[in-house]
Amino acid sequence: MTPATAVDALAALAQETRLKVFRLLVTAGPVGLAAGEVGAQLGIAANTLSFHLKTLSQAGLLVARQEGRFIYYAANYASMDDLIAFLTQNCCNGVACLPKTSAMATTAKRRKNSLKEYA
Partner DNA sequence: ATAATGCTTCAACACTTCTGGAAATAACGA
Partner DNA sequence: TCGTTATTTCCAGAAGTGTTGAAGCATTAT
Please measure the distance between the N-terminal and C-terminal CA atoms of the chain and give it in whole angstroms.
Answer: 28
Element (H, E) at 82: helix 77-88
Q: Which is nearer to DNA, 5 or 17 (CB)?
A: 17
One-letter amino acid of 89: Q
* Other CB atoms within 10 Å distance of the CB of residue 55: 19
Give the binding site for DNA (CB under 7 A): 11, 14-18, 34-37, 39, 45-55, 64, 66, 68-71
Shortest Å distance, C-beta 4 to DNA: 12
Q: Which does 52 bind (CB under 5 to 8 A by kind): DNA, a copy of itself, none?
A: DNA
Whole-angstrom distance, CA of residue 11 vs CA of residue 14:
5
Q: Among 27, 47, 69, 119, indicate the residue that binds a copy of itself (CB under 8 A).
A: 27
Closest CB 116 distance from DNA, rounded Å:
27
* Sole binder of a copy of itself in the list 45, 67, 69, 117 (CB under 8 A): 117
The total number of residues written for the chain in this structure = 119
Total residues at the site for a copy of itself (CB under 8 A)? 53
Select from DNA, a copy of itself, none the partner in contact with residue 65, using the beta carbon and a kind-dependent cut-off of 5 to 8 Å: none
43 touches a copy of itself by CB under 8 A = no
- The DSSP letter of residue 72 is E
The sheet with strand 62-67 has its strands ordered as 33-34, 70-75, 62-67
